Amino acid sequence: MIFSSLFFIFIFLPVTLLLYYLVPWKLKNFVLLIMSLIFYAWGEPVYILLMMFSIVFNYVSALQMDAYGKARRKRERRTSFVVTIVVNIAMLGVFKYYGFFVNNLNSLFGSSLKAANIALPIGISFYTFQAMSYIIDVYWGNVAVQRNLIDFGAYITMFPQLIAGPIVRYKDIARQLKHRTLSFAGISDGVSWFIRGLAKKVLLANNIGMLYDSVFAIASADRAALTTWLGIIAYTFQIYFDFSGYSDMAIGLGKMLGFEFVKNFDYPYTSRSATEFWRRWHISLGTWFREYVYIPLGGNRVGVPKHIFNILVVWLLTGLWHGASWAFVLWGLFWAVLLLLEKYIYGRFLEKAPSVIGHLYTIFAFIFGWLIFTSSSVKGFSNDLSSMFGGLQNGFADATTWYFFTSNLILLILCGFCSTPAVWRVFRNNARSRHPALRILSALSYLVILAACIASLVNASYNPFLYFRF
Amino acid sequence: MAGVTKSQLNLKINIYRIIRYGLIALLVVIVIIMLSGKKESSASFESVSAAVSGSITTQKAVLNSDRYLKKYFGLNAEEYDGVLIYTPATNMYANEVLLIKLKDRSQADAAAAAIEERIESQRTIFSGYAPDAVGLLENAVLDVQGNYILYITDDQADRVDEVFRNSL
Closest CA to A68 of B103, B164, B47, B16: B16
| The predicted structure's pLDDT at residue A392 | 57
Nearest CA in chain A to B5: A71
Are B39 and A116 inside 8 Å of each other by CB? Answer: yes
Q: State the nearest Cα–Cα gap between B137 and chain A, in angstroms.
A: 15
Distance between CA atoms of residues A124 and A43, nearest Å: 13
Please judge whether A376 and B79 are an interchain contact, meaning their C-beta atoms are less than 8 angstroms apart.
Answer: yes
Whole-number Å distance between alpha carbons of A316 and A296: 16
The verdict on a CB contact (< 8 Å) between B27 and A91 is yes
CA distance B111 to A12: 29
| Min Cα separation A215/chain B (Å) | 10
Secondary structure letter of residue B52 according to DSSP: H
Is residue A83 classed exposed, middle or buried when 0-12, 13-18 and 19+ CB atoms within 10 A define those classes? middle
**Paired sense of beta strands B141-145 and B61-64, if any:** unpaired
With H, G, I as helix, E, B as strand and everything else as coil, classify residue B19. helix
Burial B75-92 (b: 16+ CB within 10 A, else e): bbbbbbebbbbbbbeeee
Q: Do residues A228 and A384 touch, judged by C-beta distance below 8 A? A: yes
Q: What is the dihedral angle through the alpha carbons of A167, A313, A381, A116, rounded to the nearest 10 degrees?
A: -70
Residue of B9, B71, B78 lying closest to A217 (CB–CB)? B71
The values of phi and psi at residue B111, to 5°, are -65, -45
pTM of the model as a whole: 0.77
Collapsed DSSP state (helix, strand, coil) of residue B155:
coil
Cβ–Cβ pairs < 8 A, chains A and B: 129
> Do A213 and B103 lie within an 8 Å CB cutoff?
no
Task: Quote the pLDDT of residue A373.
Answer: 87
Nearest to B34 among A67, A118, A220 (CB): A118
Chain A residues within 8 A of B108 when measuring between CB atoms: 117, 119
Q: Which residue of B has its CA nearest to A104?
A: B104
**Mutate which: A63, A138, A206, A376, vs B, most B CBs within 10 A:** A376
Q: Which amino acid is at B158?
A: D
Would you write out chain A's pLDDT as a tens digit for each of its 470 residues? 777 788 888 899 999 999 999 999 999 999 999 999 998 888 667 788 888 999 999 999 999 999 999 888 999 999 999 999 999 999 988 888 887 787 778 777 777 666 666 667 888 888 999 999 999 999 999 999 999 999 999 999 998 888 777 888 898 899 999 989 999 989 999 999 999 999 999 999 989 988 988 888 777 777 888 998 999 999 999 999 999 999 999 999 999 999 999 889 999 999 999 999 999 999 999 999 999 999 999 988 889 999 999 999 999 999 988 877 788 899 999 999 999 999 999 988 988 989 999 999 999 999 999 998 887 566 677 777 877 876 556 778 888 899 999 999 999 999 999 999 998 888 888 878 888 888 888 889 899 999 999 888 887 654 655 655 55
How many Å lie between the alpha carbon of B84 and the closest alpha carbon of chain A?
A: 16
Q: Among candidates A112, A101, A110, which has minimal Cα distance to B40? A: A112
Q: Which of A21, A404, A1 is nearest to A223 (CA)?
A: A404
10 Å Cβ neighbour count for A21?
14
Element (H, E) at B146: none
Active site residue A322: yes
The total number of residues shown for chain A amounts to 470
**Residue-level pLDDT, tens digit, chain B, 168 residues:** 456 788 888 899 999 999 999 999 998 988 887 777 656 666 778 888 888 988 888 888 888 877 788 888 988 888 888 899 998 888 788 999 999 998 877 788 889 989 998 998 888 888 878 888 888 898 899 998 878 999 999 988 888 888 888 787
Within a 10 A sphere around the Cβ of A439, how many other Cβ atoms? 14
Q: Do B13 and A67 touch (CB under 8 A)?
A: yes
CB contact under 8 A, A217 and B70: yes
**Cβ partners under 8 Å of residue A82, min gap 6:** none
Residues of B in contact with A116 (CB under 8 A): 34-40, 146
The amino acid present at A261, given as its one-letter code, is: F
How many Å apart are CA A163 and CA A128, to the nearest integer?
Answer: 11
Contacts of B19 (CB under 8 A, 6+ apart): A56, A60
CB contact under 8 A, A71 and B10: yes
* Chain-centroid distance, C-alpha A296: 23
Q: Which residues of A touch B36 (CB under 8 A)?
A: 116
Q: Given B13, B38, B110, which is nearest A64 (Cβ)?
A: B13
Residue of A98, A116, A376 lying closest to B107 (CB–CB): A376
Q: Residues, chain B, total?
A: 168
H or E, element range at B142: strand B141-145
Structure confidence at residue A462 (pLDDT): 47
In angstroms, rounded to a whole number, what is the distance separating the alpha carbons of residues B144 and B37? 12
3 state SS of B116: helix
Longest dimension (CA), chain B: 82
Please tell me which of the candidates A57, A98, A116 has its beta carbon nearest to residue B23.
A57
Give A-chain residues touching B67 at CB under 8 angstroms: 219
With CA atoms as reference, the chain A residue closest to B72 would be A217
Specify whether the CB–CB gap between B89 and B62 falls below 8 A: yes
Q: What is the maximum span of chain A, computed from C-alpha positions, in angstroms?
A: 75
Which residues of chain A does B6 touch, with a Cβ-Cβ cutoff of 8 Å? Answer: 71
Chain B residue closest in CA terms to A80: B17
Q: Do B4 and A49 touch (CB under 8 A)?
A: no
**CA-based nearest distance B122→chain A, Å:** 10
pLDDT score, position A378: 67
Per the DSSP assignment, residues forming a β-bridge with B72 are none
Catalytic member of A179, A282, A307, A322? A322
- Determine the residue type at A90: A
* B163 contacts B55 by C-beta, under 8 angstroms: yes
Instruction: Go through A215-232 and write b for each residue having 16 or more CB atoms within 10 A of its CB, e for each that does not.
Output: bbbbbbeebbbbbbbbbb
Residue of A nearest to B146 (CA): A117
CA nearest to A70 within chain B: B1
**Distance in angstroms (rounded) separating the CA atoms of residues A363 and A357:** 10
Contact A120 B146 (CB under 8 A): no
3-state SS, chain A, equals: CCCCCHHHHHHHHHHHHHHHHHCCHHHHHHHHHHHHHHHHHHHCCCCHHHHHHHHHHHHHHHHHHHHHHHCCCHHHHHHHHHHHHHHHHHHHHHHHHHHHHHHHHHHHHCCCCCCECCCCCCCHHHHHHHHHHHHHHHHHCCCCCCCCHHHHHHHHHCHHHCCCCCCCCHHHHHHHHHCCCCCHHHHHHHHHHHHHHHHHHHHHHHHHHHHHHHHHCCCHHHCCHHHHHHHHHHHHHHHHHHHHHHHHHHHHHHHHCCCCCCCCCCCHHHCCCHHHHHHHCCHHHHHHHHHHHHCCCCCCCCCHHHHHHHHHHHHHHHHHHHCCCHHHHHHHHHHHHHHHHHHHHHHHHHHHCCHHHHHHHHHHHHHHHHHHHHCCCHHHHHHHHHHHHHCCCCCCCCHHHHHHHHHHHHHHHHHHHHCCCHHHHHHHHHHHCCCHHHHHHHHHHHHHHHHHHHHHHHHCCCCCCHHHHC
